[in-house]
Amino acid sequence: MPNAVRELQVDLGDRSYPIFIGDGLLGSMDLTPYVAGSQIMIVTNETVAPLYLEQAKACFSGKAVDSVVLPDGEEYKDWQTLNLVFDALLKKRHTRKTTLVALGGGVVGDMTGFAAASYQRGVPFIQIPTTLLSQVDSSVGGKTGINHPLGKNMIGAFHQPEVVLIDTNSLKTLPPREVSAGLAEVIKYGLIRDTEFLAWLELEMDRLIGLSPDSLVEAIYRSCACKADVVARDEREGGLRAILNLGHTFGHAIETFAGYGNWLHGEAVGTGMVMAADLSLREGMISGADLARARELVARAGLPLLPPAEMTPDHFMDLMAVDKKNIDGALRLVLLRALGDAFVTADASPENLAATLGAFCQGAPD
Amino acid sequence: MPNAVRELQVDLGDRSYPIFIGDGLLGSMDLTPYVAGSQIMIVTNETVAPLYLEQAKACFSGKAVDSVVLPDGEEYKDWQTLNLVFDALLKKRHTRKTTLVALGGGVVGDMTGFAAASYQRGVPFIQIPTTLLSQVDSSVGGKTGINHPLGKNMIGAFHQPEVVLIDTNSLKTLPPREVSAGLAEVIKYGLIRDTEFLAWLELEMDRLIGLSPDSLVEAIYRSCACKADVVARDEREGGLRAILNLGHTFGHAIETFAGYGNWLHGEAVGTGMVMAADLSLREGMISGADLARARELVARAGLPLLPPAEMTPDHFMDLMAVDKKNIDGALRLVLLRALGDAFVTADASPENLAATLGAFCQGAPD
């Protein structure tokens, strides 16, 4: 039996839903109360299926459960692969009363969510994220979608799940590099909104890296709660939600430079957050001690502190100029007014930005 | 200058929008008040572009207007063609502040609407329907989507436009067969909800066939108003909205049997409505005089009264069994409790249904 289960309600009016977080939930928790019809289509990938598909099916006993297994990898987050889901739904004659279930990481979650948003103009779906990154990021926010050859996540929808089940036990099969990448987003929530959580993370980081269930449940709960609070205030990305992108503008530049897949998203965000903190210091907003705390936590999570050695300030400037958050050509960055207080600005001084890029690109973060 | 313009407000809370109906609106009406950003992408097809693209561009003076011209035909209502829209948007660097414009018939409207629902997780769009069918049908309801090889309209979204502009002048270039097909849906609104409109149609049918602008504006206005009223009461297709499918279950069987494109959708619906009225008579709900009125109006609109000569009752039963409106295997039909009063039922007597099919399949509708 699982230990204590934490429940978090994501408050979005008539699209509100609960997130259940615990160790050993997969296979033991009955999810049928969240299924209106009789049909279930579990969407997963070839890596996750052998590990957890049977356990996931056990959450829907009494229902007609079909499954479709996709190839694993961001390079398959495209229309052709999405269409395998539609093929399976139509071949198995799933009606508009069906429920889709995403079992896997962020790619499976994004694709399944978009399939659910689009199949017969919209059917319900359930998220069972199995990576730390997807547990603390995609569980909340309703963003779904696929990539286009000319841009990531360019085609998609906002579509909220009926329920999210997070089993920390599934992290035991996750490569350590991916645990660290997930911790980058966990640290992010502390940095942007919650100094108390930041202090807690400093105490718990070693237990998190060691996959202690109690620490993981708490970290995931507080991360999801932080994101849920931000998203509830700004569901369609008008303003506040942009602070969730702390470290992402620098990070996307790193990911693109390195070629997608060579740096994990969370690794690039980890380095990007340290760069954003460095710029915040140069802008006179946080102290050197604050920057050191941020950098220390990122380092203890096993994340890189510097961009690829070959990357120059010009690479950063070119790659950041095409960021889709920019408006009318002005570079928009998320900076820290203080630890636990992020904001979006287009007014960072070009000299300070150049100094930050120069410092990190020479391999010396100070 | 256009004559009097009729305006209809489609009432959907914060997604409400106006429909403007008039003769000569295209090119003369300024639509920029409905455009939040500076970018416009007009989506049209190779038939409509030479006729109306320049006029449509004139509705957006001062904006950066791009266009993409798709191949014409239901067979192109697929992902590959939809992707031409995404390609154009990304190549021309349209941001999430862009507005899409659908200029054409139902296929262009459905695809453009789905492109707008999905591009960067949703951007606004404007409808300029140029066929009678799309003017009285797709203008209201927010249904968008594409076909899948295993089913029509299986992938899509509900997405409401910012504004709909209907220019009756664009019907002058429409083949007469398509005018008749559009009139089938116009007659439908009279049959399902509005006996006064039905009586008006009996007076005006010759002028409608003759494309009299005043008659067309009135018929389109009342059709859209009827559909808007039904949709406002049932936006996501829970119940009432199903009456909009009068004649469609028989009609879809005819379309599928004939092979899509051989019978126009409206033609099949015309015949289907007469069959539904015939069954309603056999069920003891309407009179023989009522049936004669329905049949007469369908005939005067230039629509066929009988299914293809080769079609048997068994063909109908097989094809109707897979209709997606069926629930738990029961055949659901829209019948007429009286002229102007349609309802959905799964309780039509099998004997009466067999009698209707027998009568129509032998070439004798009585």
Does residue A138 register a pLDDT over 50? Answer: yes
pLDDT in the model for residue A324: 57
What tens digit of pLDDT does each residue of B258-297 get? 986 789 999 999 999 999 999 999 999 999 999 999 999 9
Within 10 angstroms of residue B55's Cβ, the number of other Cβ atoms is 18
B-chain residues near A110 (CB < 8 A): none
B-chain residues near A143 (CB < 8 A): 121
Q: Taking Cα atoms as reference points, which of B354, B272, B259, B254 lies closest to residue B313?
A: B354
Partners of residue A158 on adjacent β-strands: A143
Which residue did the predictor score with more confidence, A205 or B332? A205
pLDDT in the model for residue B324: 57
Partners of residue A41 on adjacent β-strands: A66, A100
Structure tokens at A188: 């992010």
What residue type is B267 in one-letter code? Answer: E
Please say whether the beta carbons of B274 and B305 come within 8 A: yes
Burial of B251: CB neighbours in 10 Å, binned 0-12, 13-18, 19+:
buried
A-chain residues near B157 (CB < 8 A): 117-118, 121-122, 157
Comparing CB atoms, the residue among A91, A120, A148 nearest residue B150 is A91
Q: CA-to-CA distance for B84 and B82, rounded, in angstroms?
A: 5
% residues pLDDT > 70 (chain B):
95
Q: What are the residues whose beta carbons fall under 8 Å from the beta carbon of B73, sequence distance 6 or more?
A: B107, B261
Q: What is the mean pLDDT of residues B226-255?
A: 87
User: Residue B205 CA to chain centroid, in angstroms?
Assistant: 19
What tens digit of pLDDT does each residue of A242-262 get? 999 999 999 999 998 998 678
B-chain residues near A87 (CB < 8 A): 150
Q: CA-to-CA distance for A50 and A13, rounded, in angstroms?
A: 37
Which residue did the predictor score with more confidence, B43 or B141? B43
Does A54 show up as a binding residue in the annotation?
Answer: no
Q: CA-to-CA distance for A113 and A126, rounded, in angstroms?
A: 8
Q: Which 8-state DSSP code applies to residue A102?
A: E
Angle between the N-to-C axes of helices B195-209 and B176-193, in degrees from 0 to 180, rounded to the nearest 10: 170
* Confidence band of B238 (pLDDT split at 50, 70, 90): low
Reported ipTM: the value is 0.90
Is residue A72 within a helix (H) or strand (E), and if so which, with residue range? none
Please say whether the beta carbons of B139 and B129 come within 8 A: yes
% residues pLDDT > 90 (chain A):
86
Q: What 3-state DSSP class applies to A361?
A: helix
CA distance to partner chain B, nearest, from residue A103 (Å)? 22
Q: CA-to-CA distance for B211 and B87, rounded, in angstroms?
A: 38
Does residue B366 register a pLDDT over 80? Answer: no
Angle between the N-to-C axes of helices B213-233 and B195-209, in degrees from 0 to 180, rounded to the nearest 10: 140
Domains defined along chain A, listed by start: 6-173 (3.40.50.1970), 179-361 (1.20.1090.10)
Cα Rg of chain B (Å, integer): 20
Q: CA-to-CA distance for B222 and B210, rounded, in angstroms?
A: 18
pLDDT in the model for residue A231: 86
pLDDT in the model for residue B365: 43
pLDDT in the model for residue A234: 76
A-chain residues near B155 (CB < 8 A): 86, 118-119
Does residue A81 register a pLDDT over 60? Answer: yes
The single residue listed with the structure tokens 């202090």 is A199
CA distance to partner chain A, nearest, from residue B200 (Å)? 35
Does residue B363 register a pLDDT over 70? Answer: no
Angle between the N-to-C axes of helices A176-193 and A213-233, in degrees from 0 to 180, rounded to the nearest 10: 50
A-chain residues near B79 (CB < 8 A): 79, 83
Structure tokens at B317: 């039963």
Give the residue from chain A lying closest to B85, CA to CA.
Answer: A155
pLDDT in the model for residue B329: 63
Q: What is the mean pLDDT of residues A350-359?
A: 96
Q: Taking Cα atoms as reference points, which of B339, B299, B325, B65 lies closest to residue B198?
A: B339
Least confident of A150-154, A299-303, B205-209, B337-341: A150-154
Does residue B159 register a pLDDT over 80? Answer: yes
Give the residue from chain B lying closest to A324, CA to CA.
Answer: B95
Least confident of A203-217, B3-17, B125-139: B3-17
Concatenate the DSSP letters of all residues of B170-195 into one string. Answer: GGGGS-HHHHHHHHHHHHHHHHHH-H
Active-site residues of A: which are they?
A: 121, 143, 185, 227, 237, 241, 245, 248, 252, 265
Geometric angle at alpha carbon B117, from B115 and B121, rounded to 5°: 105
Does residue A327 register a pLDDT over 60? Answer: no
* Confidence band of A80 (pLDDT split at 50, 70, 90): very high
Q: Which of A93, A155, A327, A328 to mutate to test the interface with B (most CBs of B within 10 A)?
A: A155
Does residue A352 register a pLDDT over 70? Answer: yes
Comparing CB atoms, the residue among A90, A151, A157 nearest residue B154 is A90
% residues pLDDT > 70 (chain A):
95
User: Residue B182 CA to chain centroid, in angstroms?
Assistant: 8
Q: Cβ B121–A148 below 8 Å, yes or no?
A: no
User: Distance of CA B38 to CAs B61, B66, B340, Å?
Assistant: 10, 11, 45
Q: Which of A85, A90, A118, A231 to mutate to test the interface with B (most CBs of B within 10 A)?
A: A118
Comparing CB atoms, the residue among A79, A118, A148 nearest residue B157 is A118
Burial of B329: CB neighbours in 10 Å, binned 0-12, 13-18, 19+:
exposed
Does residue A202 register a pLDDT over 80? Answer: yes
B-chain residues near A95 (CB < 8 A): 324
pLDDT in the model for residue B241: 87
CA distance to partner chain A, nearest, from residue B349 (Å)? 25
Does B143 show up as a binding residue in the annotation?
Answer: yes
- The rounded mean pLDDT for chain B is 93
CA distance to partner chain B, nearest, from residue A51 (Å)? 31
Q: Taking Cα atoms as reference points, which of B167, B143, B161, B324 lies closest to residue B231?
A: B143
The single residue listed with the structure tokens 């006729």 is B51
- Classify each residue of B58-77 as buried b or exposed e, where b means 16 or more C-beta atoms within 10 Å of its C-beta: ebbeebebbbbbbebeeebb
Q: What is the mean pLDDT of residues A337-356?
A: 95
CA distance to partner chain B, nearest, from residue A187 (Å)? 27
Comparing CB atoms, the residue among A90, A117, A150 nearest residue B151 is A90
Q: Within an 8 Å CB–CB cutoff, is residue A143 touching chain B?
A: yes
Q: Taking Cα atoms as reference points, which of B97, B94, B32, B95 lies closest to residue B58?
A: B32
Does A109 show up as a binding residue in the annotation?
Answer: yes
Does A75 show up as a binding residue in the annotation?
Answer: yes
Q: What 3-state DSSP class applies to A104?
A: strand
What residue type is B61 in one-letter code? Answer: S
Comparing CB atoms, the residue among B118, B154, B324 nearest residue A156 is B118
* Confidence band of A365 (pLDDT split at 50, 70, 90): very low
What residue type is A192 in one-letter code? Answer: I
Q: Cβ B145–A121 below 8 Å, yes or no?
A: yes
Q: Cβ A96–B148 below 8 Å, yes or no?
A: no
pLDDT in the model for residue B1: 46
CA distance to partner chain A, nearest, from residue B262 (Å)? 25
Q: Within an 8 Å CB–CB cutoff, is residue A87 touching chain B?
A: yes
pLDDT in the model for residue B325: 60
* Confidence band of B139 (pLDDT split at 50, 70, 90): confident
Task: Report strand pairing: B341-345 vs B333-338.
Answer: antiparallel
Is residue A173 within a helix (H) or strand (E), and if so which, with residue range? none
Q: Within an 8 Å CB–CB cutoff, is residue A154 touching chain B?
A: yes
Q: CA-to-CA distance for B273 and B282, rounded, in angstroms?
A: 14
Geometric angle at alpha carbon A267, from A264 and A271, rounded to 5°: 145
Is residue B270 within a helix (H) or strand (E), and if so which, with residue range? helix B265-282
pLDDT in the model for residue B51: 97
- Classify each residue of B154-184 as buried b or exposed e, where b means 16 or more C-beta atoms within 10 Å of its C-beta: bbbbbbbbbbbbbbbbbbeebeeebbbbbbb
Q: What is the mean pLDDT of residues A19-26?
A: 96
Geometric angle at alpha carbon B166, from B2 and B269, rounded to 5°: 135
Structure tokens at B278: 């015939």
Q: Taking Cα atoms as reference points, which of B37, B30, B33 lies closest to residue B2?
A: B30
What tens digit of pLDDT does each residue of B306-347 get? 999 999 999 999 999 876 565 556 789 999 999 999 999 999
Q: CA-to-CA distance for B334 and B250, rounded, in angstroms?
A: 10
3-state helix, strand, coil in chain A (%, to 5): 50, 20, 30
Active-site residues of B: which are they?
A: 121, 143, 185, 227, 237, 241, 245, 248, 252, 265
B-chain residues near A120 (CB < 8 A): 154, 156, 324
Could you tell me if residue B114 is left (phi over 0), alpha (psi between -120 and 50 degrees) or otherwise beta?
alpha
Q: Within an 8 Å CB–CB cutoff, is residue B210 touching chain A?
A: no
Q: Within an 8 Å CB–CB cutoff, is residue B120 touching chain A?
A: yes
Comparing CB atoms, the residue among A79, A143, A324 nearest residue B79 is A79
